[in-house]
Amino acid sequence: MKHIATTLALLLVTAGAAQAATITFTGSESDFTSQGIVPIQDDGVDTQNFGAGCEEPLDIGKVYITNDNTNLYIGMHYKRYCFCDINLFWAFDVRPGGTVSDPFGRQIDWSLAPGAPDFYVYDVIPTSCNVFNYEVMYEANGAGGWNNLGDGANARGIVDTDGGDFVELAIPLQTMGLGCTPSSFFDVFFEIGVTQEGGTKPAFELVASDPEQRSGLAGTCFDVGPTCPASQPREYLHYRLDCPVPTSGTSWGGMKALYR
């Protein structure tokens, strides 16, 4: 949703101020912290521990987000180990409309969210037991489905080096219709999750909608069934994307919050 910035609006969000930056990806958290970017959310440890050498392999930790005039940059802690066939996803609600189904056919239902996703990125990450790597970005097509905006191995500006613990994503603003114009800003609502290959899979981990993730400290539901319903995300993280970015570097982020 695009808005015209006003002095009052700026005053209301200055508490969440964070330096905007152009991020060069190396697969390290320092790509963001060295630019003065602080986490928009620290999700902590809230998924199952599968034992020594396999601690919390489904868990997302700190999430970073920033932008410049060209790209939206997201970085997050995620350990790529222990399980094969892991899929990461980023879902974005930036305008009215959207699609409530998951473009990969996973058991993730957005019908209870304040707004359905308009854009979706999937990353089939390489692991030590499955080196297959594939990224794809989708756009809601207005008819309850999705259009593929581009895919392939090592596509979509994603850095997910096998064995590391930090994943990074860059999306050109124009791809999501967020072209910067003077004195304007955009509200970007997004959710991040972890799932696996297969049409019976829910979201094991979510950052904003913790109650709807199907892995917790006490155990994990790997497949939907009589005792395991589909994940139904109901919240988003909120990031205020201001345009154009001043050379002094000022932008605004939001803490974990309801969509509106």
- Among 204, 206, 198, smallest CA distance to 91 is for 206
Read off the pLDDT band of 20 (50, 70, 90). Answer: confident
Read off the pLDDT band of 255 (50, 70, 90). Answer: very low
**What is the pLDDT of the chain when averaged over all its residues?**
85
- Supply the DSSP symbol for 197: S
255 near 22, Cβ under 8 Å? no
For the chain, the structural domain boundaries read 2-255
What was the pLDDT predicted at 247? 55
What was the pLDDT predicted at 162? 57
Whether 138 shows a pLDDT value over 90: the answer reads: yes
CB burial of 212-239 (b: ≥16 within 10 Å; e: otherwise) equals bbbbeeeebbbebeeeeebbbbbbbbbb
Instruction: Give 208-245 pLDDT, tens digit per residue.
Output: 999 999 999 999 999 999 999 999 999 999 999 987 64
Report the length, in residues, of the chain: 260
**Helix, strand, coil percent values for the chain (each to nearest 5):** 10, 40, 55
